A = this chain, B = another copy of it.
């Protein structure tokens, strides 16, 4: 039960921000009354720490799963396909913690910032294992550049108020990260485009909320 509350809170903070956590509301959504909250957690801050940790864990795990599923040399492609997709843009609650929470992290407790940094370093590590750079350091730097591009693009794509603008930002970032890829001529799987991928590629005629 305690794990269920943490899971629910970890989705909530990504979707609505760390300060959006309300004890009573959270307990109600778990089918409980608020009084019992303090049986599971020391305080609201204690829960927030755990929820944040879970959100970072989930993001790193997802990242590692994608890397492992793809063979070496295809990790970047696999991660980018997930990361810079309309699906991920829309599902903030279950998506990567980096674009959703970084700004708040920079004003949070040292325990949260420490956890954030550790998770970020793991992601860089996973990505850099796929880079053919002259040295390990060079590979890491390449990974940092790619990660920054992806985080920035997803962040902006989510904030913007028009779906075609969002799609264009994601499309540009995919191109920038994977190398020059003329739009509408290839896709990641070598298969036909799905409707979602079509929209994601920035077709101006298709505009939605």
Contacts and interface: CB of A to CB of B under 8 A. Distances in A.
Number of copies: 2
B159 A113 contact: yes
Interface stretch (A2-10, A41-49, A65-73, A160-168): A160-168
Contacts of A121: 165
Contacts of A23: none
Interface in A13-72: 15-17, 19
Interface residues of A, number: 46
A155 interface: yes
B145 A102 contact: no
A160 B19 contact: no
A112 B22 CA distance: 24
A129 interface: no
Given A17-B19, A102-B159, A149-B152, 8 more contacts: A101-B103, A116-B159, A117-B160, A120-B156, A144-B173, A145-B173, A148-B176, A152-B153
